[in-house]
Amino acid sequence: MEDERKIKDIYKCKYIEMDGEMYPLQKWYNRLIDKRVSELEVSDILRMIRQNEFIDIAISKAVDYLKENPFVGDMYEGELLEKISSISIERLTDYIGEIKDVLSNAIIKNQDYEWLDEDERKEFAEAILNFSDKISNL
């Protein structure tokens, strides 16, 4: 069962408060910590990974999204798989079995997926292969 606490309660973090106008990243952070884990969207997860914030939750939710759709992304197809592959192997250790399943599924689905361009299919296949190589020694 998924944790229904808000991120601010899980990590005991506080809102960013400023006298002046906050930067977009600060506004995003305040909105993010007010969300429940179940409310996280792909765009949140991608940004969490990019900003190295709440990585344990980001990985868990990313794996859940990738199980449903290995091509999921915000700006482009396959973005989440590409982004999670950039996380250090030490952080991914608890999820290796699930990630291997996601990658196996992605290889199969990539053959029939309707890419706009054949080069995109090849790039996605290469991303899968690189990620597989990264985790193969675990």
Would 32 be classed as within a structural domain?
A: no
* 25 lies in some domain: no
Tell me, yes or no, whether 13 lies in a domain. Answer: no
In a domain, 27, yes or no: no
pLDDT, mean over the chain = 94
* Residue 33 within a domain: no
Position 138 pLDDT exceeds 80: no
pLDDT tens per residue, range 53-102: 999 999 999 999 999 999 999 999 999 999 999 999 999 999 999 999 99
- Domain membership of residue 80 (yes or no) is yes
pLDDT score of 2: 65
Q: Could you list the residue range(s) of the whole structural domain that residue 51 is in?
A: 40-135
The predicted-structure confidence for 5-19, as pLDDT tens digits, reads as follows 999 999 999 999 988
3-state secondary structure the chain: CCCCCEHHHHHCCCCCCCCCCCCHHHHHHHHHHCCEHHHCCHHHHHHHHHHCCCHHHHHHHHHHHHHHCCCCCCCCCCHHHHHHCCCCHHHHHHHHHHHHHHHHHHHHHHHHCCCCCHHHHHHHHHHHHHHHHHHCCC
Q: How many domains in the chain? A: 1
Is the residue at 10 inside a domain?
no
- Distance separating alpha carbons of residues 122 and 115, to the nearest angstrom: 10
Per-residue model confidence as pLDDT tens digits over 71-82: 999 999 999 999
% of the chain residues with pLDDT over 70: 98
Q: Is residue 12 part of a domain?
A: no
Q: What is the pLDDT of residue 16?
A: 94
